[in-house]
Chains A and B, each alone.
Chain A
Amino acid sequence: MSKTAPQPWTRKHLLALEELSAGEINYVLETARSFAEVSTRSIKKVPALRGRVVVNLFFEDSTRTRTSFSLAASRLSADVIDFSARGSSVSKGETLIDTARNIEAMGVDIIVLRHPAAGAAHLLSRHVRCSVINAGDGAHEHPTQGLLDIYTIRQHFGRVEGLKVAIVGDIANSRVARSNLWGLRKLGAEVILVGPPTLLPRAFERLGARVVHNFDEVIGEVDVINMLRVQFERIQSSQFPSVGEFTGLFGLTRERFRRCKKDVFIMHPGPMNRGIEICSEIADGPHSGILTQVSNGLAIRMAVLYLVSQACERERAAGEAAAAVRHERPRPADRKHHP
């Protein structure tokens, strides 16, 4: 367990782990733990979000994150709508804000946004009244992935503080890496980023990470290895010369795995390129937490949906109470009619 006590949740939006405190992160993890039990029941549903509407607003392809959010919302008894950019009015040139406002006008409580542009969730949160959950914005953050990774690590080791976590691959373009970095650092883990300088700028050192370009130099000392997906389009932009060379330097191969700590824990946010960044034997082996990550994702997303919805509800109630107080006070103009 982390030393920092959970701190109650008051945020209407979940945009980034950078802005959360250790206490808030622990609060989400605790909430997720209580929701995880729901999935073990024969009737896998609780009424926490009954009557609420959740929209998955996805401007990028995604299978697991979208499915995970959908399932999480329906386990909380919310109504779920899927909205993908393809085949929608977005292709006719509508802006993100207009699209979101139109959807909100249908009476939506939570927008789950996946978007290729960094900052899209921040932009949206400034223009809608409902809650916004960032399900990945460009290369910026993917906070629920970060939370589920940390949850999985804590579940496995019983703690986060003091662990050494290596994140390997295309760091520069990875929102998963950034969310993990913020969350893990806040909870006291050491984060080692591994990749070629073309995909791992030195600036990450100033964010509290150790920056390493030689995987073999650190492989024997880390407790967790989180392998990122290789993006083939980076070859065209000359960020690495070939898949073969990348695998040779940064792939989790059988040979390299032999030099790992005996109790090393292997993670991957998916979808995997088997045989490229990770070999199948390791991905499917006893050290792998990859499928656990997916199951835990459900609990984390239930927790996040529930918490932002509660915060939004409290804000609304506070607003109504304030309006009621204003209403009771007679306005000067009214007095004439009520002498």
Chain B
Amino acid sequence: MASLLIRNGTVLDPVRGAPLRADVLIRDGRIARVGDVSGPADRVIDAAGCYVTPGLIDLHVHLREPGDEEEEDIASGSAAAAAGGFTTVCCMPNTRPPLDNEGQIEFVLREAERVGRARVLPVGAITRGREGRELAEMARMKERGAVAFSDDGKGVADAAVMRKAFQYAAMLGATIMQHCEEESLSGGAMHAGLVSTTLGLPGIPAEAEQLMIARDLLLNRTIGCRYHVQHISTAGGVELVREAKKRGLPVSAEVTPHHLLLTDECCRSYDTNYKMSPPLRTAGDVEACIAGVKDGTIDCLASDHAPHRPEEKELEFAAAPFGVIGLETALGLYIKALVEPGHIDWMTLVAMMTVNPARIVGLNSGTLGEGAAADVTIIDPALVWRVDPATFHSKSRNCPFAGWELRGRAVATVVEGRVCWELPGRFR
């Protein structure tokens, strides 16, 4: 399609500043004009009552390909992303085999291109095989398109290896993302506290997260690599990042919807849809994460979309795998957790889902500047809908929010000028 006109919407572009009632004209995959546009276009979308935002970016998803395609693959995962309003997702390297070499990076990019839904940008492994021993070929992976590096699923346990990873990634100007969890404290199934004690389940203490953040901040202090704390979950973790930012260290952090809305109390029925890593923490931790969002300690929002088959999840709590899906619910849940209670405004929410994550991984997207690639999300903030995992594009159903009523969702997702998803029946 050569041209697309999105009319009558309210443009929320954090780079521009204030909300703007304007039309957005897209031509040949680029933003051609934002303002009053008259004249024809190949397709016109009436976005009255909607927000028109830069395409949403999720820095943390698991697409399970290669290796676990029955849980998710790049086609289904990027379709789920588009249906959730995301134009770009960064997929974690804990596939089988892991994304730890240039061939795997190329495979992901090629497959995402082929299926043509949301953009998928791979995050390469920090260490070979994600084993935490030898560095992976970060330079080659970066050259092929890896946007950052992480051993997500676990942290790099060995301090000497981590120091070298910081040094090496700093040379490349790459961002290190860390799953912050001290390995020797990570043997549990849920947050260590009153509820785990009651349920007789082994706990993962909050200190597991805090120890690794503190260690990494120390190791990186004189190196200065860009360091991103993945799925922050504890009050102590938020405080460490806050202090580091005050000292001017190059650190950023993300938080998931479930760590903003749920607590370890949810585990009382042994429902494994509440088992994730890091685990659901206490109400005090949720409060601290929200405070971290409000004061800018936490930079961006990420779903940690982690698909698992029902057969894997329908197990004893300790035996079931960690993780919940989130791409198709994330936006509505952030609105519920952050905007509806008045913690942040819409513009801040959009910044935390667009330009902020873009900057963390060094992308120049996340804005609707004229001439920029036309990645656009149209959001109806008033649309009330009920979460029904049966309707998801994801192959998996491990969603703890089934049945929740949410207000606000993406109604169209535009990638490089092409409408790659729209809410059925909304515009025609």
Interface set of A (CB-CB < 8 Å, partner B): 18, 95-97, 115, 117-120, 122-123, 127, 137-141, 172-173, 175, 178, 201, 203-204, 206-207
Closest to A120 in B: B316
- Contact residues in B for A139 (Cβ distance below 8 Å): 200-201
Are A140 and B199 neighbours in the complex by a CB distance under 8 Å?
yes
* A-B contacts, 25 listed (Cβ < 8 Å): A18-B198, A95-B314, A95-B315, A96-B316, A118-B200, A118-B270, A118-B316, A119-B201, A119-B316, A119-B318, A120-B316, A122-B269, A123-B270, A123-B314, A123-B317, A137-B200, A138-B200, A139-B201, A140-B200, A173-B200, A175-B200, A201-B192, A203-B194, A207-B197, A207-B198
CA distance A115 to B200 in the complex (A): 13
CB-defined interface of B291-331 with A at 8 Å, one 1/0 digit per residue?
00000000000000000000100111111000000000000
Query: If the complex has contacts A95-B311, A123-B270, are A203 and B197 also in contact, measured as CB distance less than 8 A?
Result: yes
Tell me whether B250 is interfacial, beta carbon within 8 Å: no
- Contact residues in A for B197 (Cβ distance below 8 Å): 172, 201, 203-204, 207
Q: Which of A118, A120, A201 has the most CB of B within 10 A?
A: A118
Q: How far is the CB of B194 from chain A (nearest CB, A)?
A: 5
Q: How far is the CB of A119 from chain B (nearest CB, A)?
A: 3
Tell me whether B193 is interfacial, beta carbon within 8 Å: yes
Closest to A137 in B: B200
- Contact residues in A for B199 (Cβ distance below 8 Å): 118-119, 140
Q: How far is the CB of A95 from chain B (nearest CB, A)?
A: 6
Closest to B269 in A: A122
Residue among A118, A175, A203 making CB contact with B317, cutoff 8 Å: A118
Considering only residues 188-208 of chain B, those with a C-beta below 8 Å from chain A are: 192-194, 196-201
Residue among A97, A119, A120, A203 making CB contact with B314, cutoff 8 Å: A97
- Contact residues in B for A127 (Cβ distance below 8 Å): 314
Are A141 and B200 neighbours in the complex by a CB distance under 8 Å?
yes
Are B315 and A207 neighbours in the complex by a CB distance under 8 Å?
no
Closest to A122 in B: B270
Query: If the complex has contacts A95-B311, A139-B201, are A118 and B193 also in contact, measured as CB distance less than 8 A?
Result: no
CA distance A119 to B318 in the complex (A): 9
In the A-B complex, the 10 residue pairs with the smallest Cβ-Cβ separation, listed nearest first, are: A119-B270, A117-B316, A139-B200, A140-B200, A203-B197, A118-B200, A119-B317, A203-B194, A122-B270, A118-B201
Are B318 and A117 neighbours in the complex by a CB distance under 8 Å?
yes
- Contact residues in B for A138 (Cβ distance below 8 Å): 200-201, 318
Residue among B194, B314, B318 making CB contact with A118, cutoff 8 Å: B318
Residue among B198, B270, B317 making CB contact with A178, cutoff 8 Å: B198
CA distance A206 to B196 in the complex (A): 12
CA distance A1 to B73 in the complex (A): 63
Q: How far is the CB of B192 from chain A (nearest CB, A)?
A: 8
CA distance A123 to B315 in the complex (A): 8
CA distance A172 to B197 in the complex (A): 7
Query: If the complex has contacts A95-B311, A118-B270, are A123 and B316 also in contact, measured as CB distance less than 8 A?
Result: yes
Are A117 and B269 neighbours in the complex by a CB distance under 8 Å?
no
CA distance A140 to B190 in the complex (A): 14
Given contacts A178-B200, A203-B198, 13 further A-B contacts (CB under 8 A): A95-B314, A115-B316, A117-B319, A119-B317, A119-B318, A122-B270, A138-B201, A139-B200, A139-B201, A141-B200, A178-B198, A203-B196, A207-B198
- Contact residues in A for B311 (Cβ distance below 8 Å): 95
Considering only residues 154-182 of chain B, those with a C-beta below 8 Å from chain A are: none
Q: How far is the CB of A113 from chain B (nearest CB, A)?
A: 11
Closest to B317 in A: A119
CA distance A60 to B304 in the complex (A): 36
Q: How far is the CB of A167 from chain B (nearest CB, A)?
A: 14
- Contact residues in A for B269 (Cβ distance below 8 Å): 122
- Contact residues in B for A95 (Cβ distance below 8 Å): 311, 314-315
Q: How far is the CB of A49 from chain B (nearest CB, A)?
A: 29
Closest to A121 in B: B270
Closest to B201 in A: A118
- Contact residues in B for A120 (Cβ distance below 8 Å): 316
Q: How far is the CB of A181 from chain B (nearest CB, A)?
A: 10
CA distance A130 to B196 in the complex (A): 28
- Contact residues in A for B314 (Cβ distance below 8 Å): 95, 97, 123, 127
CB-defined interface of B92-129 with A at 8 Å, one 1/0 digit per residue?
00000000000000000000000000000000000000
CA distance A201 to B192 in the complex (A): 10
Q: How far is the CB of A315 from chain B (nearest CB, A)?
A: 20
Residue among A18, A123, A207 making CB contact with B194, cutoff 8 Å: A207
Closest to A181 in B: B198
- Contact residues in B for A117 (Cβ distance below 8 Å): 316-319
- Contact residues in B for A123 (Cβ distance below 8 Å): 270, 314-317
CA distance A232 to B256 in the complex (A): 40
Closest to A206 in B: B194
CB-defined interface of B265-282 with A at 8 Å, one 1/0 digit per residue?
000011000000000000
CA distance A172 to B202 in the complex (A): 9
Are A96 and B315 neighbours in the complex by a CB distance under 8 Å?
yes
Query: If the complex has contacts A119-B201, A122-B270, A140-B199, are A203 and B316 also in contact, measured as CB distance less than 8 A?
Result: no
Closest to A117 in B: B316
Q: How far is the CB of B25 from chain A (nearest CB, A)?
A: 54
- Contact residues in B for A201 (Cβ distance below 8 Å): 192, 197
